[in-house]
Amino acid sequence: MTDAITISVDAMGGDHAPRAVIHGAHIALKERRNIRFIFHGREEQIQPLLDEFPALKPASTVRHCENVIAMDEKPSQALRKGKGNSSMWMAIQAVRDGEADVAISGGNTGALMAMATFCLRPMEGISRPGIAAIWPTLRSDIIVLDMGATIGADAKQLVDYAILGSALARSLFDDANPSVGLLNVGTEEVKGLESIKEAGRMLAEASGKGFTYHGFVEGDDIGKGTVDVVVTEGFVGNIALKTAEGTARQVATYLRSALKSTLLSRIGALFATSALNALRRKMDPRTVNGGVFLGLNGIVIKSHGGSDEIGYKSALGLAYEMGRSRLMDKIADTMKRIPAQPEEPVSDTQSEARPA
């Protein structure tokens, strides 16, 4: 890998693409000069935007793709339609072909996961890829996965997520031995589904080989930052993520209403401007935008589809850190330390699972 980190970008993915994408790349470049971009999409829309941000042009390559995956297309339809010639597929393919270190898209999540899995293939020893999120807590940022790549997970798959999440924590947080917890309905060993209890036993045996197994954690432990990596299956993880985002918006709305309710509260808000601005930045979901697809032979970042340029800047910054920290090497290293676990038979319910 050269000093420059090359990010392959689906410029057409997202509600505000391609303007928000290109503007976000312009901001990211100002913060990290050794980024290079390959933008995939409709050239007639991308080039005029690059003209608006001339500093971005020397660091950019545009590859024309007429085909764009819609946000409401089913993964199977999107794969048939876009394989080989869509902006989303071409962004992923650049990673597969070694032209880019990371791919990023704000497009259809299910389609992106289907294409990434088909194009990059799961890593040897990993049965299912997962989506990891960077989660702000009272202590520090942590990793939570799976955020909805697949619904349902057996014990072996939960152990896979622990391996992947701990490697990501080592890359992002420079922590040689991150702590891992399994999300459960209680911390007692007798509680929870059998798959979670079995995963706990397997992780306890593997503890110390790239991570430290903390044990079961509950929902409120996520916000506390009790552990560095919280592992769960995609259905629960996606609900937890959406609940947290909704709660943050709810609290922010309550706070704004309270500060405007009386003359005295408005005067108090003026004196607390700096503190309120710091709180606003801390609660802004745009600053932690970007889900990392883990378990594939390459790195793919999913940006929120509704992100503006600030959100894309954050996602591109995350993509840069993934490339710079050699995440794939850390995942491979962690997997070597842990004895292979036998695959559990896939149930009828799991076989019907689809990306959330």
pLDDT at residue 180 is higher than 90: yes
pLDDT for position 283 = 65
Answer yes or no: is pLDDT of 342 > 70. Answer: no
Work out the widest C-alpha separation in the chain, in whole angstroms: 65
Displacement of CA 264 from its chain's centroid (Å): 42
The angle that helices 327-337 and 155-173 make with each other, rounded to 10 degrees, is 130
Q: How confident is the model at residue 343 (pLDDT cuts 50, 70, 90)?
A: low
pLDDT of residue 277: 72
Q: pLDDT digit string (tens) for 6-29?
A: 999 999 999 999 999 999 999 999
Complete domains list, the chain, with CATH: 5-120 (3.40.718.10), 130-285+334-351 (3.40.718.10)
Q: What is the pLDDT of residues 55-100, one digit of tens each?
A: 999 999 999 999 999 988 888 888 887 788 899 999 999 999 999 9
* DSSP output for 55-120: TTGGGEEEEE--B---TT--HHHHHHHHTTTBHHHHHHHHHHTTS-SEEEE-S-HHHHHHHHHHHH
- Residues 6 or more apart in contact with residue 354 via CB below 8 angstroms: 75, 110, 150, 151
What torsion, rounded to 10 degrees, do the Cα atoms 96, 102, 104, 110 define?
50
> Which pLDDT score is estimated for 250?
86
pLDDT interval class at 339 (50, 70, 90): low
**Residue carrying the six token digits 């764009």:** 68
